[in-house]
Chain A
């Protein structure tokens, strides 16, 4: 146990050094603010949806990586509904005077009514989020506040006060909770994952057909995008989140499809005659896709417009080149995987195929490169140190090529995909027996399973 702790500390330290950026400091550093997040109540029928609300709020805040949630078992009983329920702790009572035995001793705390009940032990929070819900004219209304407990009085402690409206059902309550969480996370400089989407490949069983599905970043609202009853794989999201590119075998050989997502519509990508056209991903301007094709033998990297026109090769087809990903920040380089020096490794090159450089050290097999939105870091899957096929998620600073291992042999872990916030990763793991979509923080902590039904793989996280 001690050893594990030591490794964990070493890893987060390494990540912090490696990343050396404020945004990552928040997830690996020790000075994360602590927030008290009591279970909030609803008046009348609204109470029916508050279990879902509280769960969603806690998951979002806890999973954000920007703040720490104070342990809920330490909270006082009286949870404020609104600011008027809170008061500053009264000044210390004057020293008891002799000869007045009838006077009642002043209580030691306010049972939740004093700000110090939340800022002092055992809660020790820096912030308190509270509020209440009700149903008004057929609308679910949540009023939420965030108080800075370092202030002396409720009058100056308020940092957030907002009203959220949603439909009167569990989905509405969850939506309001997501929005309240997003506003709280924004207070600490974070980007909420709320409103982003994770596309993935869903199968009923390992031998069944696969379709492209999408879900919210908490695993909610899962539904199908494709209905081809074929093999449909390799989803990728456009930078603005309006389109998804993927591959389907519906016409025989694997071919690329580009769909708009709202409404879902086939935008008709024209595939070159080839036994393989696959692994599409968007350029940062969203106007082109880079992909793999066997048009001149298997397999080179190509680029084309979203309708398939302007098709031209970037690499020769002497080797198996795969999974091209354009740097989202610079738009000037491509990370890809290739078997050009033996077993599959991660490489980078310029947009015209020049300066091809291997990034991984040639050991094991490395695949699935995913750029952090900062354009400096890559996550990928690597078997380094393990048997063939035993992939773990790694994280690399491209400039120095120093890397950190984020998963540690808990099943196979593949296909990392960065969240738009740049601090969360979705990935696929079979640690529970079947391949499922998981998410974790960029330092490998707070792993959380997002899918449970069937077999799910190849997450692509986008707006």
Chain B
């Protein structure tokens, strides 16, 4: 135990140490700001912005891989002319061949003492029809049957030693039917496995039958809601594949379920 005096001494020591550290590593004062720019006391009242007499692309539309020619002509009081898209500073008058890979709008900026003037020219690029993708795998934005089932389809739960579809399971399975129809529309070759599971209390042998009955009840319910029967396959795992193994009603309820997985 520290007594009060010891704590005070310790605090003092700590603050001294902090103070000492503060002195040693004092941050340098900020650098002085840069001086302001010199005042321009001699404006040119007559100055006007340059004029872009021409900025065009010929031709304006090309196939990918072909080229187009940009032509420009700038007059007036000009100090610099530049074109964007990596062309950079150019002469007041000139041309440049460009081969953009996709439609591009080029912007020319002419700068003079009187200000800046811009003009733009667009080269449209049309690409040939893309080749068909190699034997279309599941498009990434549709996910996989498994990921879709995991995210869109819920387990339906049962009472002890029962395979009736109780109220909450009816609403769950009604939502599941919609989701399953969507998944089957996106993956017409997939079948969906309806797995029946049980809690650990009944005998393992009896539970294989009970799990089968739960899976069948859930399948029948989904078929009534328009899910094609030949796309649903039932399997019972009895109590062989528990979600949890605690001897509590919460865990028992978690295990008394029908779960959906992707088949072949």
Contact = CB atoms under 8 A, between A and B. Distances in A.
A206 interface: yes
B119 interface: no
Interface stretch (B20-28, B64-72, B166-174, B229-237): B229-237
Contact of A276 (B202, B236, B240, B245): B236
A210 B233 CA distance: 23
Contact of A206 (B161, B216, B245): B245
Interface in A291-321: 292, 294, 297-299, 320-321
Contacts of A299: 208-209, 212
Contact of B205 (A206, A275, A322): A322
Interface range for A: 35 or more
Report which residue of B210, B216, B236 has the largest number of chain A beta carbons within 10 angstroms of its beta carbon. B236
A279 interface: yes
Interface in B224-264: 233-237, 240-242, 245, 247
Interface stretch (A136-144, A151-159, A337-345): A337-345
Contacts of A444: none
A458 interface: yes
Report which residue of B202, B210, B247 has the largest number of chain A beta carbons within 10 angstroms of its beta carbon. B202
A367 B205 contact: yes
Nearest to A323: B205
Interface in A336-368: 337, 339, 343-344, 365, 367-368
A231 B208 contact: no
B213 interface: yes
Given A206-B245, A276-B236, A344 B204 contact: no
Contacts of B213: 298, 320
Given A298-B212, A320-B213, A233 B203 contact: no
A292 B206 CA distance: 10
Given A252-B235, A275-B212, A207 B242 contact: yes
Contacts of B237: 231, 249
A298 B216 contact: yes
Interface range for B: 20 to 34
B236 A254 contact: yes
B240 A233 contact: yes
Nearest to A234: B205
Contacts of B240: 210, 231, 233, 249
A278 B208 contact: yes
Given A207-B245, A276-B236, A337 B160 contact: no
Nearest to A206: B245
Contacts of A298: 209, 212-213, 216, 236
B58 to A, nearest CB: 67
Contacts of B236: 254, 275-276, 298
A195 interface: no
B96 interface: no
Given A233-B240, A275-B212, A298-B216, A343 B205 contact: no
Interface string B192-215: 000000011111111011101101
Contacts of B212: 275-276, 294, 298-299
Given A233-B240, A253-B235, A322 B245 contact: no
A246 interface: no
A99 B234 CA distance: 102
A381 B203 contact: yes
Contacts of A323: 203, 205-206
Contacts of A414: 203-204
A169 to B, nearest CB: 38
B245 A320 contact: no
A463 to B, nearest CB: 23
Q: For the complex of A and B, list the 7 residue pairs with the smallest distance between their C-beta atoms, beginning with the closest.
A: A389-B201, A367-B203, A320-B209, A298-B212, A299-B209, A344-B206, A322-B205
